[in-house]
Structure 1
Amino acid sequence: MEVTPVAFSELSSRSQGEPSEVIRERVIKAREIQAERYKSVEGIFVNAQMSSKQLREICRISNVGENLLKRAMEKLNLSARAYDRILKVSRTIADLAGNADIQPEHLAEAIHYRSLDREGWAG
């Protein structure tokens, strides 16, 4: 996956990032979304706990998303387990964004996290 370089102006900017209170509210809202989603499923409270069957039902993606994930799987030589984890993480990213559907940008972010994980975050 190709990542574009960050401009120096962004790196050296003095602007503040998203305040912790705003992030906290998004996380609370995402947890509420997940609690509602799994309210009728015993023992499951968050996306990370989904079974493979639930994953196929809950984490539907568009053709664009499928192609993106397919290319990432091939290029990064990822396993079926990694595929499932990427879908679960992308579902959570969509929940944090307040989106009912997983968008390609949510998949791209989850794939990016997975590629960082494979590199051990140190490169």
Structure 2
Amino acid sequence: MKLRPRIALVSCLAALASVAVTGTLLLAQSRADAAGELRSRMQLLAQNRAFALSDALAVATRELTRLSQMAELDLGDNDLRPEATLLAHAHRNSTLFNIGLQIEDAQGRCLWSEPAQPGCPGRSFADEPWFQEGRRARG
């Protein structure tokens, strides 16, 4: 084989190798950029949902606070009928409390639930983390 065809063949092989390496690097960079973009979008979506959840919890907290301060609520009078009526009304007419509501005493015993749950009367929630946290947060 003469020198010119060898030089041409080596040049073609070098060009082919450089195109292959460049293509591989570009594909890897494109994949990394796409993954980074996907992570950013997912993070924004998660933040958006977290803000929405925070807003929903704030609304529910305000509504529970409002309900707890109503004149009908007097757990010391040993008459749960007004509280039960209020719970039933709040449960029926609320998108916030459509699953149900319960009244617990200071020791964590369930006094009433709406809708009625067979295990509620007398069941203790005192050991539940959410009840203990609520007791600590109450001050």
- Could you say which structure has the higher strand fraction? 2
Q: Which has the higher contact order (CA 8 A, sep 6+)?
A: 1
**TM-score normalized by the length of structure 2:** 0.24
Q: Which has the larger radius of gyration?
A: 2
